Structures are given as C-alpha cells and as structure tokens.
C-alpha cells in the first residue's frame, strides 16, 4: 500500500510539474517522441488554459518554488538513501526502517506543499477545467492499476 501511495505521490508531482510546463508551452505538441511528457502536455493543453490563467499559474509556481524545490530535493535524497539501505549487504533492517521513516517524513512535507499548490492552481481553473483535470487523474489511476495488474500477471501468470 505504501508503494502505491508513493506511486500516486510521484504521479501527482509529475502532473504538477507537467502543469507548470504547460503554462510555458504552446497549445500544440510538435514532438510526439517525448513520450509521457508529451502525452501529459497534450492532455493539459486540451484544458484550454487562457493566457491570464497561465500568468496566474506561473505566479503560483514562482511563489512556491523556494519552498517546493528544496522539499522535492530532500525527498529525492531520502528515497535514494532508502534505495541504498535496501541494496546494502548485509541487510540491516533497522537502517531500512530508519530510512523508510525519513523518506515518509519528507514525503509528508512535500505532499502538504503540493496540496497547497494544487489548491491555488485549482482556484485559477474554471469548473469545467477542474472537472477535466479530475477526469485525467482518474484515467491515470486506471492506467496505473492496469500496469500493476500486468506486472502482477507477469510475476504470477495464471
């Protein structure tokens, strides 16, 4: 369950970063080879964000940058430390638990900051745009669930 929550947090971070990128992007996605980023960019471009909304979203992201970027860096550093603890030989369960707790603390702080950013950005969007965003998130959740099912089926084929 923790891995799933971490995955959803990562997706949330990705979506917020993608939304920030969309603010600067044009309404067309020229390079379809960019994969997921291009797919997200295309979906967010379909929201029809106005120039005024882009300006407001830029301002929100700029206002939170000094807080969000260090939190994200701390979280990434904690996850890397956890990865190293998991890969260490011999296995040190106490070290792993300690790193899990540290990563969870950083994840909580980052999630709170992202919640504030998301609330402010949603305040800029129209009701239709908010609904489209919610629909995109639901679609992403379904996609992630499908991927997890495929992974499970590969590990334990029926």
The model's pLDDT over 48-82, given as tens digits with 9 standing for 90+, comes to: 899 999 999 999 999 999 999 999 999 999 999 99
Residue 70 lies in a domain: yes
Residue 27 lies in a domain: yes
Residue 140 lies in a domain: no
Cα Rg of the chain, angstroms: 18
The range of the structural domain enclosing residue 96 comes to 2-129
Q: Which of 34, 26, 105, 42 is nearest to 71 (CA)?
A: 105
Residue 29 lies in a domain: yes
Residue 33 lies in a domain: yes
In the predicted model, what is the mean pLDDT of residues 93-109? 97
Residue 117 lies in a domain: yes
The domain total for the chain is: 1
Residue 156 lies in a domain: no
Judge whether 19 and 42 are in contact, CB under 8 Å. no
């Amino acid at each position: 369950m923790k891995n799933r929550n971490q995955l959803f947090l990562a997706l949330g971070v990705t979506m917020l970063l993608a939304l920030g990128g969309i603010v600067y992007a044009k309404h067309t996605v020229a390079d379809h080879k960019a994969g997921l980023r291009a797919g997200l960019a295309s979906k967010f471009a379909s929201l029809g964000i106005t120039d005024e909304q882009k300006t407001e979203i830029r301002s929100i992201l700029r206002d939170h940058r000094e807080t969000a970027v260090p939190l994200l860096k701390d979280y990434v550093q904690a996850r890397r430390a956890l990865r190293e603890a998991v890969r260490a030989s011999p296995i040190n369960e106490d070290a792993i638990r300690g790193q899990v707790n540290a990563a969870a603390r950083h994840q909580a702080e980052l999630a709170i900051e992202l919640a504030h950013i998301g609330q402010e950005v949603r305040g800029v969007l129209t009701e239709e745009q908010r609904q489209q965003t919610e629909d995109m998130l639901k679609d992403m959740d379904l996609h992630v669930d499908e991927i997890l099912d495929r992974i499970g089926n590969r590990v334990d084929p029926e």
